[in-house]
């Protein structure tokens, strides 16, 4: 007779851990919300003034990063016991602009996730172009993807140069904590490495891996007839990805091809892309809009984008 039923014990322990995590997560999320609310209600004017003065990228890089990065609301985070809705604080202005965009999009999107009609696409592209202040298009050089509204799923990091490894991707402990657990894909991306060697690896390559998406290039109309031309077109093509439920948006590049049709997903996002879309918790999946960015001079920076 076994004195200790090990699997049962493990199960009980796992359940207890899950309960503890849920409890702490809920409690600390609520407390975090209160602190943000207090900060916003007491010093909202000064924080708003700052957010109008400097770019979100600069804020994220400076000592206010901890505020900014965590102050954007995400529907998925809420459902997963993540961070709460923001109060009137530094991010509220941003969040409210995002909310306005989300509200505007909700009136133009179909209730189900399906390919958009030409008319729907036109309307949405107009809204996005106006919101971001740069040209957003569903088609470039006569090429388009098979859809511009679909389900995004979380991807892993990609090897950037020969000899690269996961922990080399992060510069701070915070980055390691946020983006390390996603892991690194065992194989290379569709365009192979981002740089031929570590010595030739640039900041631009780093940003490309950080903010990459995988799109179903192989389903693009005309792809099978002109594979080389299409591959050249899609490689590192700049695209905007928008979470229509929250308005959170990220400028990305096409860094990989996929996911397979059978997955039910229509594109994939790097851990950083998913984070800034507010889709990094729970199932790491959700509906998004994705369009090309017409940026011939490569002036638009990759990463989370603020609404004008």
Partner 1 sequence: MKKYFYSHIVEVESLFLELEKFGFSEQEKAHLITLIDSSLHHAVLDAILSELSGGDKKIFLEHMAAGDEGKIWKFLLGKVENIEDKIRRAAEELKGELHKDMKETRGKG
Asked if 212 and 253 touch (Cβ cutoff 8 Å), the reply is yes
Q: What is the Cα–Cα distance from 28 to 11, expressed in whole angstroms?
A: 26
- Please select the residue that binds partner 1; options are 5, 9, 11, 28, rule is CB under 8 A: 28
- Please select the residue that binds partner 1; options are 5, 10, 46, 222, rule is CB under 8 A: 46
- Please select the residue that binds partner 1; options are 1, 4, 53, 186, rule is CB under 8 A: 53
Part of the chain binding partner 1 (CB under 8 A), chosen from 24-32, 133-141, 188-196, 288-296: 24-32
Residue 66 binding partner 1, by CB under 8 A = yes
- Please select the residue that binds partner 1; options are 8, 10, 45, 229, rule is CB under 8 A: 45
Residue 11 binding partner 1, by CB under 8 A = no
Residue 226 binding partner 1, by CB under 8 A = no
Q: Which two tokens stand for residue 244?
A: 């229509």
- Please select the residue that binds partner 1; options are 8, 10, 11, 21, rule is CB under 8 A: 21
Cα–Cα nearest to 15, from 5, 23, 27: 23
- Which residue do the tokens 């000899």 mark? 163
- Please select the residue that binds partner 1; options are 118, 167, 172, 225, rule is CB under 8 A: 172
Nearest approach, Cβ of 157 to partner 1 (angstroms)? 15
Asked if 307 and 94 touch (Cβ cutoff 8 Å), the reply is yes
Nearest approach, Cβ of 40 to partner 1 (angstroms)? 9
Asked if 206 and 255 touch (Cβ cutoff 8 Å), the reply is no
- Please select the residue that binds partner 1; options are 5, 9, 10, 42, rule is CB under 8 A: 42
* DSSP-H helix ranges across the chain: 6-53, 56-61, 65-68, 75-79, 90-106, 118-132, 173-179, 203-210, 227-234, 271-277
Q: What is the Cα–Cα distance from 308 to 297, expressed in whole angstroms?
A: 20
DSSP for 152-184? Answer: EEE--B---STT--GGGG-SSHHHHHHHGGG-B
Residue 163 binding partner 1, by CB under 8 A = no
Residue 95 binding partner 1, by CB under 8 A = no
Contacts 24+ apart (CB under 8 A), 13-17: none
Cα–Cα nearest to 128, from 250, 302, 256, 271: 250
Nearest approach, Cβ of 299 to partner 1 (angstroms)? 22
**What is residue 97's three-state secondary structure?**
helix
Residue 282 binding partner 1, by CB under 8 A = no
Q: Which is nearer to partner 1, 77 or 190 (CB)?
A: 77
Residue 16 binding partner 1, by CB under 8 A = yes
Q: Which is nearer to partner 1, 174 or 232 (CB)?
A: 174
Count of residues engaged in binding partner 1, rule: CB under 8 A: 48
Q: Which is nearer to partner 1, 22 or 198 (CB)?
A: 22
Cα–Cα nearest to 73, from 303, 246, 249: 246
Cα–Cα nearest to 175, from 272, 270, 274, 306: 272
Residue 62 binding partner 1, by CB under 8 A = yes
DSSP for 29-54? Answer: HHHHHHHHHHHHHHHHHHHHHHHHHS
Contact set with partner 1 (CB under 8 A) = 13, 16-17, 19-21, 23-25, 27-29, 31-32, 35-36, 38-39, 42-43, 45-47, 49-50, 53-54, 58-59, 61-67, 69-70, 82-83, 172-174, 177-178, 180-181, 281
């Amino acid at each position: 007779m076994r004195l200790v039923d090990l699997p049962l014990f493990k199960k009980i322990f796992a359940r207890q851990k899950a309960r503890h995590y849920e409890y702490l997560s809920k409690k600390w999320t609520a407390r975090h919300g209160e602190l943000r609310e207090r900060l916003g209600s007491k010093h909202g004017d000064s924080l708003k003034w700052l957010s109008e003065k400097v770019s979100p990228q600069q804020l994220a890089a400076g000592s206010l990063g901890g505020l900014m990065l965590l102050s954007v609301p995400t529907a998925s985070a809420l459902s997963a016991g993540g961070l709460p809705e923001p109060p009137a604080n530094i991010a509220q202005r941003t969040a409210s602009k995002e909310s306005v965009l989300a509200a505007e999009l909700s009136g133009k999107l179909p209730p189900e996730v399906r390919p958009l009609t030409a008319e729907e696409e036109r309307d949405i592209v107009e809204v996005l172009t106006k919101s971001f202040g740069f040209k957003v298009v569903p088609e470039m050089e006569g090429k388009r993807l098979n859809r511009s509204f679909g389900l995004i799923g979380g991807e892993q990091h990609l090897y950037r140069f020969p000899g690269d490894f996961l922990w080399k991707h992060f510069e701070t402990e915070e980055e390691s904590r946020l983006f390390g657990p996603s892991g690194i894909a065992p194989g290379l991306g569709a365009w192979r490495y981002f740089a031929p060697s570590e010595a030739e690896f640039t900041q631009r390559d780093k940003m490309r891996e950080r903010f990459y998406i995988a799109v179903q290039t192989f389903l693009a109309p005309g792809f099978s007839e002109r594979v080389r031309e299409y591959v050249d077109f899609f490689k590192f093509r700049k695209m905007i990805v928008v979470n229509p439920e929250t308005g959170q948006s990220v400028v990305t590049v096409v860094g990989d091809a996929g996911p397979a049709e059978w997955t039910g997903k229509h594109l994939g996002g790097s851990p950083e892309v998913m984070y800034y879309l507010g889709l990094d918790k729970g199932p790491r999946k959700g509906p998004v809009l994705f369009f090309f960015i017409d940026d011939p001079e490569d002036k638009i920076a990759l990463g989370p984008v603020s609404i004008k």
